[in-house]
Amino acid sequence: MIKILLVDDEPLLRLGFRLVLESQPDLSVVGEAADGEAALARTAELDPDVVLMDIRMPGMDGIEATRRIVRAHSRSRVLILTTFDIDEYAFPGLKVGASGFLLKNVPPEDLLSAIRAVAAGDAVVAPSVTRRLLDTMAAQLPDPAARPDEAGPATERGLDRLTERELQVLTKVAGGLSNAEIAEELVLSEGTVKTHVGRILNKLQLRDRVQAVVLAYEVGLVRPG
């Protein structure tokens, strides 16, 4: 059973999400919160597997709440829900540790799939959406002082620990390719690509694929656009 905490300042939205989620035999809504402070308290109390997090709320917003939940309750994974396709808070939300980014009007079946994926330790931002999001938010990214094969930000962030093949895979991931597409381009099996992605996350101490993409942009392994 996947335990879910709903965080949104709109009671009707929480009710709608609850009705959809509790129609599934493997999902259970264990609690609700209307702001970031309450989300922190309820996460500590209920230990949910997945926190569905709104961004814009009174008091502590969803970004700060996500930051604190990831830091203090790393087992609980955060899935951000927003009204806008490209929200100025989406990139900061992913950067502080959210495991996904979805629109509130997402089809129910996609929301259910996303929750299950996040609970299993995966990221739920589709590669194409990740690429477009980071391109749009490029102004917020620092200008790397050096390329990844030179001393500088890349070395500091641990990319020098990756093998040549792992670096190739990371570049493809950051370029918006799925595991199947990477496998085709690099002439590998999809299982091998998945193994490489897992090793990349472990070596770089990243939570998921989304954070790997963010890091690749930050150090200049790929460039927006």
Structural domain ending residue among the three candidates 94, 125, 156: 125
The answer to whether residue 133 sits within a structural domain is: no
**What is the overall mean pLDDT for the chain?**
83
Query: Residues near 117 by Cβ (< 8 Å), separated by ≥ 6?
Result: 100, 123, 124
Q: Would you say the C-alpha torsion 201, 204, 206, 208 has a positive or negative sign?
A: negative
Q: 212 near 200, Cβ under 8 Å?
A: yes
Mean pLDDT score, 43-59: 94
Q: Are 113 and 151 contained in the same domain?
A: no
pLDDT of 33 > 90? The answer is: yes
What is the structure's pLDDT at 47? 96
| Cα radius of gyration (the chain) | 18
Structural domain ending residue among the three candidates 125, 148, 183: 125
pLDDT band at residue 146 using 50, 70 and 90 as cut-offs = very low
Q: Are 17 and 114 contained in the same domain?
A: yes
What is the C-alpha to C-alpha distance for residues 96 and 184, in angstroms, rounded to an integer?
Answer: 32
Q: pTM of the predicted model, to two decimals?
A: 0.68
What is the structure's pLDDT at 139? 56
Q: Are 8 and 112 contained in the same domain?
A: yes
Choice between 148 and 78, residue whose per-residue pLDDT is larger: 78
Lowest mean pLDDT segment, chosen from 27-31, 64-68, 90-94, 136-140: 136-140
pLDDT of 222 > 70? The answer is: yes
Written as six digits, the tokens of 164 are: 């040549």
Region label for 177, one of left (φ > 0), alpha (ψ between -120 and 50) or beta (otherwise): beta
Residue range of the domain that includes 172:
138-219
State residue 29 phi and psi, 5-degree precision: -85, 110
What is the structure's pLDDT at 132? 60
Mean pLDDT score, 20-28: 96
206: domain CATH number is 3.40.50.2300
The answer to whether residue 130 sits within a structural domain is: no
pLDDT band at residue 177 using 50, 70 and 90 as cut-offs = confident
* 3-class DSSP assignment, residue 147: coil
What is the structure's pLDDT at 151? 41
* 3-class DSSP assignment, residue 6: strand
pLDDT band at residue 54 using 50, 70 and 90 as cut-offs = very high
Choice between 214 and 45, residue whose per-residue pLDDT is larger: 45
Mean pLDDT score, 9-19: 94
What is the structure's pLDDT at 74? 83
Q: Are 18 and 79 contained in the same domain?
A: yes
Q: Are 110 and 154 contained in the same domain?
A: no
Mean pLDDT score, 7-23: 95
What is the C-alpha to C-alpha distance for residues 127 and 25, in angstroms, rounded to an integer?
Answer: 29
Q: Are 7 and 117 contained in the same domain?
A: yes
Structural domain ending residue among the three candidates 70, 95, 125: 125
Nearest to 206 by CA among 170, 152, 180: 170
Domains: count for the chain: 2
Mean pLDDT score, 8-28: 95
Neighbours of 108 (CB within 10 A): 14
State residue 53 phi and psi, 5-degree precision: -115, 120
